[in-house]
Amino acid sequence: MLNVIIFGPPGSGKGTQSELIIAKYGLYHISTGEILRQEIKKQTELGAVADEYIKTGQLIPDELIIKILADVLDANLGAKGFIFDGFPRTIAQGKALDQLLSEKNTSIIAVLNLAVDEEELLNRLIKRGEESGRTDDDPVVIQKRLEVYRNQTEPLKEFYKKKGKLFTIKGNNSIEDVFEKIAEVLDRLSFQAK
């Protein structure tokens, strides 16, 4: 399986690049944010819990999101590979993902880290907020999400760097340029996938 994590702060282009990766490599997309937004839309119990965290820019508790992820993995074992978008977001989630994949005799092949400077992130998120209607693309919540990213999510870079799996790609460039760099990495590594 070709299992890839698309990593980076909110607004770094993870969703956009995921779509291009899926089109080229046929991976199954797991966006935990998207799963949660669907639950909110369907007005489920889980959606009601998630909404409380999302609208204030906080992370959903590890235990809950790990359970959701485990269920999605189990339901899609026939996939050629997975692209994880917005997961993991904490070291505990990273460890849980390693464990879940190793139980299925597979692993993460690459963590594609999209590096975008903060000013550009803010511009993009505010613009997206005007178009997407997402409750968390509001200026105050955006600041909180960036802070949560720095404190809870960014340490994962070191976690994957130590494993030799971190590939940093400058995300300020055009969508096509960023994808070209991503494809270089994935083409180089895909033969190692198991």
Q: Give the C-alpha separation, 59 to 172, whole Å.
A: 26
Q: Are 185 and 110 in contact (CB under 8 A)?
A: yes
- Identity of the residue, 111 or 136, whose beta carbon is nearer to ligand AMP in the bound complex: 136
- Identity of the residue, 27 or 136, whose beta carbon is nearer to ligand AMP in the bound complex: 136
Active-site pick, 55, 128, 144, 157:
128
Decide: is 54 part of the binding site for ligand AMP (CB under 6 A): yes
User: Buried b / exposed e across 1-36, counting CB within 10 Å, b at 16+?
Assistant: bbbbbbbbbbbbbbbebbebbeeebebbbbbbbebb
Decide: is 13 part of the binding site for ligand AMP (CB under 6 A): no
Residue nearest to ligand AMP (CB): 33
- Tokens read off for 134: 């997402």
| Residues 98-127 interacting with ligand AMP (rule: CB under 6 A) | none
CA 150 to chain CA centroid, nearest Å: 15
- Identity of the residue, 134 or 161, whose beta carbon is nearer to ligand AMP in the bound complex: 134
Q: Binding mask 145-184 vs ligand AMP (x if CB under 6 A, - otherwise)?
A: x---------------------------------------
